C-alpha cells in the first residue's frame, strides 16, 4: 500500500473515531435525560427514545474503540514502514514507546470505559454516568496528544486547549447527531412533553459547548496560522480550516434557527408539524457536523499553516 493510501485510511478512521466519540457522548447525555423522563417504565411514552439512546450510546462507544485500535494499527504501519498486514509485530512498541502510540492507547482505554458505561440497556444511573464522563475525559486527553497540539509538548497549554476543544465539539456534535437518531422515537403526541424537555436540554448544553468550541477554536486557528492570514490561503491546512469553518458556520446557523425560531414555536403549539420541523432541522445540522469532523481529521493530518515557510 502506498503512503498516500495509508494516509487516507488514517484520516478516514480518525474522522470515524471523532464521529463515534461524539455519538457516544450524545447517547449518554440523551440516555441520562430520558432516564429523568422515566423512559424505563413499562408504560412511559419516552420508552422508545430511551431504548434508542442506549443503542446509539453502546454502538458508538464500541465503534470508537474499534476505530481507535485500527488507527493505532495504521500508525504502527506508518512508523515501522511495514505493510498494514505486518504492522502487528510493532504494535506494542509503537503503543508503549512513541508519543502518538501512547495517545492512541490512552484514547482506546477511555473508549473502553465509555463502552462499559453504556454496555446495558438499563437506565443510566449516576455511577454509570460518572464512568462515562471519566472515559470521555481520558479519551479526549489521548486524542489531544495525537494532533498538532502535541508539538508544544506533553501537558502543554496547547494540549489542554485541544482537550477542551475535543470535548466541547464532541458534546455539541454528539447531541445533534445522536439527537437526530433518537428524537424521532419521541415523535408521538403522547411523548410530546418529553420531546420538548429533552430538546430544551439539548439546546442549552449545545449553547455552552458552542461557546467553548469557538473560544478554543480561535486559539487553535491562531496557533496553526502562526498569526499570519496568508497561511489560510497558501496552504492545504488553511484550505481545510476554511472548509471546516464553513461547516461550523452553517451548523451554527441551523442551530440558531432551531433554538430561536422552531423550538419556541413548538413550545407554543406542541403540534406534530412543528415537532417535525425541529427534528428535520436537527437532521440537516447532524450532516453538517459530520462534515466538521471530516474537515477536522484532514486538518490534523495536514502540515500546519505556520510551517509553510519552513
pLDDT score of 22 = 97
Contacts 24+ apart (CB under 8 A), 163-168: 164/212, 164/216, 165/212, 165/213, 165/216, 165/217, 165/220, 166/21, 166/140, 167/136, 167/137, 167/140, 167/212, 168/209, 168/210, 168/212, 168/213, 168/216
Q: For residue range 88-131, list pLDDT tens digits in order.
A: 889 888 888 888 888 888 999 999 999 998 887 666 677 888 89
Q: For residue range 245-304, list pLDDT tens digits in order.
A: 999 999 999 999 999 999 999 999 989 999 999 999 999 999 999 999 999 999 888 877
| pLDDT of 309 strictly over 60 | no
Tell me which range, 16-20, 146-150, 233-237, 270-274, is most confidently predicted by mean pLDDT. 16-20
pTM of the prediction? 0.91
pLDDT score of 200 = 92
Q: In terms of residue numbers, what domain contains 222?
A: 3-307
CA distances from 292 to 25, 89, 172, 303 (A): 17, 34, 11, 18
Domain count, the chain: 1
pLDDT score of 310 = 46
Mean pLDDT along residues 67-79? 90
| pLDDT of 244 strictly over 80 | yes
Mean pLDDT along residues 79-84? 87
Mean pLDDT along residues 49-60? 91
CATH number of the domain that 289 lies in? 1.20.1630
Amino acid at each position: 500500500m502506498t503512503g498516500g493510501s495509508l494516509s487516507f485510511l488514517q484520516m478516514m478512521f480518525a474522522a470515524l473515531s471523532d464521529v463515534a466519540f461524539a455519538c457516544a457522548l450524545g447517547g449518554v447525555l440523551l440516555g441520562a435525560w430520558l432516564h429523568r423522563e422515566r423512559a424505563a417504565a413499562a408504560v412511559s411514552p419516552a420508552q422508545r427514545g430511551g431504548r434508542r439512546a442506549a443503542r446509539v450510546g453502546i454502538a458508538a462507544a464500541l465503534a470508537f474503540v474499534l476505530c481507535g485500535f485500527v488507527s493505532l494499527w495504521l500508525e504502527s504501519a506508518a512508523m515501522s514502514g511495514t505493510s498494514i498486514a505486518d504492522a502487528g509485530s510493532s504494535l506494542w512498541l509503537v503503543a508503549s514507546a512513541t508519543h502518538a502510540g501512547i495517545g492512541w492507547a490512552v484514547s482506546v482505554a477511555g473508549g473502553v470505559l465509555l463502552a462499559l458505561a453504556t454496555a446495558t440497556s438499563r437506565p443510566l444511573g449516576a455511577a454509570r454516568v460518572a464512568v462515562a464522563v471519566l472515559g470521555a475525559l481520558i479519551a479526549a486527553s489521548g486524542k489531544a496528544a495525537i494532533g498538532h497540539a502535541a508539538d508544544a509538548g506533553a501537558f502543554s497549554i496547547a494540549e489542554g486547549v485541544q482537550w477542551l476543544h475535543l470535548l466541547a465539539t464532541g458534546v455539541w456534535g454528539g447531541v445533534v447527531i445522536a439527537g437526530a437518531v433518537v428524537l424521532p422515537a419521541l415523535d408521538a403526541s403522547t411523548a410530546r412533553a418529553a420531546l420538548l424537555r429533552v430538546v430544551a436540554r439539548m439546546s442549552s448544553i449545545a449553547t455552552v459547548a458552542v461557546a467553548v468550541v469557538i473560544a478554543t477554536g480561535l486559539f487553535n486557528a491562531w496557533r496553526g496560522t502562526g498569526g499570519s492570514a496568508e497561511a489560510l490561503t497558501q496552504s492545504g491546512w488553511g484550505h481545510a480550516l476554511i472548509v471546516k469553518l464553513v461547516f461550523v458556520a452553517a451548523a451554527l446557523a441551523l442551530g440558531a434557527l432551531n433554538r430561536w425560531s422552531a423550538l419556541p414555536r413548538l413550545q407554543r403549539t406542541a403540534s406534530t408539524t412543528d415537532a417535525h420541523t425541529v427534528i428535520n432541522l436537527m437532521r440537516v445540522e447532524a450532516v453538517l457536523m459530520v462534515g466538521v469532523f471530516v474537515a477536522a481529521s484532514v486538518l490534523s493530518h495536514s502540515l500546519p499553516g505556520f510551517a509553510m515557510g519552513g
